[in-house]
Structure 1
Amino acid sequence: MTQPMDAPRRSPLNRGRVLRAAVALADHCGIDALSMRRLADELGVVPMALYKHVANKEQLLDGMVDVVAGEIDPPVTGADWQAAVRQRILSARRVLLRHPWASRVIESRASPTPVVLDYMNSLAGMFRAGGLSVDLVHHAMHALGSRMWGFTQELFSAAPAPDPQARAVMLRELAGRYPYIAEIAAAATHDEGSLVGQGCDDQFEFEFALDLLLDGLARLHQHGWTPSRPK
Structure 2
Amino acid sequence: MTPQHEAPRRVRLNKGLVLRTAVSLADQAGIEGLTMRTLSHELGVVPMALYKHVANKEELLDGMVDIIFSEVEMPTGGPDWRSAMRRRAVSMREALARHRWAVGQMESRMRPGPANLRHHNAVMGCLRQAGFSFRTAIHTYTALDSYTYGYALQERTLPFDTPEESGTVAQQTLDRQPSAEVAAAEYPFLIEVVTELATTGYDHAAEFAIGLDLLLDGIERLRPEWITPDAAVGPTGIEPMTSTV
Q: Which amino acid aligns with 1:17?
A: L
Map 1:1-231 to 2 at 5 A.
Answer: 10=10, 12-75=12-75, 80-106=80-106, 109=108, 111=110, 113-114=112-113, 115-148=115-148, 151-154=151-154, 158=158, 161=169, 162-163=171-172, 166=175, 173=182, 175-188=184-197, 199-221=201-223, 223-225=224-226
Query: What is the CA distance between 1:186 and its match in structure 2?
Result: 3.8
TM-score, normalised on structure 1? 0.74
Query: What is the CA distance between 1:24 and its match in structure 2?
Result: 1.5
SS at match of 1:141: helix
CA distance in 1, matches of 2:156, 2:186: 19
Say if 2:103 and 2:153, in contact at 8 Å, map to a contact too. no
SS at match of 1:70: helix
Say if 1:68 and 1:95, in contact at 8 Å, map to a contact too. yes
CA distance in 2, matches of 1:93, 1:79: 24
Query: What is the CA distance between 1:104 and its match in structure 2?
Result: 4.3
CA distance in 2, matches of 1:112, 1:143: 23
Q: Which amino acid aligns with 2:222?
A: L
Query: What is the CA distance between 1:159 and its match in structure 2?
Result: 5.1
The total of aligned residue pairs comes to 215
Query: What is the CA distance between 1:224 and its match in structure 2?
Result: 3.4
Query: What is the CA distance between 1:83 and its match in structure 2?
Result: 0.5
Greater alpha carbon shift after TM alignment, 149-158 vs 30-39: 149-158
Say if 1:15 and 1:54, in contact at 8 Å, map to a contact too. yes
**Gaps in structure 1 of 5+ consecutive residues:** 192-198
Say if 2:92 and 2:148, in contact at 8 Å, map to a contact too. yes
Say if 1:189 and 1:201, in contact at 8 Å, map to a contact too. no
CA distance in 1, matches of 2:112, 2:36: 21
TM-score, normalised on structure 2? 0.71
CA distance in 1, matches of 2:28, 2:97: 13
Q: Percent identity?
A: 42
CA distance in 2, matches of 1:76, 1:142: 18
